[in-house]
Amino acid sequence: MNTLPAAFEERIKKQWGSEARLFLDALQAEAPVSIRQNPGKWLTPEELLPEVAPLSPVGWCDHAWYLDKRPVFTLDPCFHGGAYYVQEASSMFIRHILQQIMPTGPVRVLDLCAAPGGKSTLVASMLDKDSLLVANEVIRSRATILKENIIKWGQDNVVVTNNDPADFHALEGAFDLILVDAPCSGEGMFRKDPTAITEWSEEHLRLCSERQRRIVADIWRCLKPGGKLIYSTCTYNPGENEAMLEWLQDEWQGESLPITHSFEGIVPGNSKAHCYHFYPHKIKGEGFFVGVIQKNDGKEFCPRKSKKSSTAYTRIPDHLKPFIRTPERYSAYATENTTGILPTSQADFITTLETTLRILYKGCEMAETNNRKLKLLPASALWQGLETKHCAVYEADRKTALTFLRKEDIPAPGITGDWILVSYRGIGLGWCKNLGNRLNNYYPKEWRIRMDITL
């Protein structure tokens, strides 16, 4: 049983009165487990995780499910292949919000505090092919995890950046939507993260609120006129929640937008701003807070032309076209000996990003060429746009797939072809080089499964 901070318990008792005991008891209960499927790598729920069926749906998010128990996700090749994301259910309410506020036509979206990638992959799945998501994380180690999860999700209209919010100042008016899932005191994660309890203090709450104001102030200018900011936290503290939305209304003349819903248990905030609380004794999920503020003034985006990007965009090399389902949609880029692709419709804007931001990943890295020898890269195996009919595919059983994911040797399948796509239930996992009598495993060593596998 977790010992909660006394000052936190006192605040909850004042807020909830006779209902406080239900709230505090819920924080000692086991947290529910939920996943969200990748619509670009579709399996039926029964095919996806048959060992934990039955599944029940998360009401406010399509293709999302509660599990009746927590499996060992590390031992599921579909998890490594990006067929689903393990995400806390309350935060999936972002999808319901986006269904109401997403503009029509191509949009540019910034997920400012994106690691590890749950909300970014959710947003990406809702974008049309000509839209773009910039997924940013300021902490380099967390940005690396974000990059891995974006690659495994397999969409090409995403750019991963590693920047402080202040670095975006040159992009005034550039984004239709900005999601700020702000770093917070983490009260909503008390039952999942004991560290959040030990770090809690009244001083920590104040510091979190100050940091949140700096983050939002830095990024507000990047919304276009009429653009919308989705502000969320995983805490219950009013100073980090309602007070932040009211500050945006008063200080920045933002307009609070209501979100209609019919889901029981979602509690409106005690504020002049429209906002929504998720409490663990009210809904099946963790603590979560969210509200939407619209910017009605400001400037339209005007890209600066004083700097030049070091990246040149060209036509796709002929030797890569067979691996691309719709090559007419893409432009190629080259960095040293790596060739990648990205949507032509967003190439100019990505060029602008490169003059301002530290970009870790963009589009899809397809291949390396050394001494005219082609080496297919892991991201292309996980990419949703891969033309698999032109690939030699090794459809592995679970044991073989997990052996591959441990970066160990797997049996040569007797398939002809230079590069072999290792697949599990139709989900691409990575590449092997066919050496005739054996396969050379090219799964990234930093992604490999390290735990012992007993099947």
Give the C-alpha separation, 421 to 378, whole Å: 10
275 catalytic, yes or no?
no
**Catalytically annotated residue among 78, 222, 234, 432:** 234
Buried b (16+ CB within 10 A) or exposed e, 336-353: eeebbbbbebbbebbbbb
- Residues 283 and 266 sit within 8 Å (Cβ to Cβ): yes
**Rounded distance between C-alpha atoms, residue 67 and residue 53, angstroms:** 7
Crossing angle for the helix pair 242-252 and 202-220, to the nearest 10 degrees:
40
- Bridge partners of 375, per DSSP, are 368
Q: Which residues of 276-287 are buried (b: 16+ CB within 10 A; e: fewer)?
A: bbbbbbbbbbbb
**Which sequence positions are flagged as catalytic?**
234
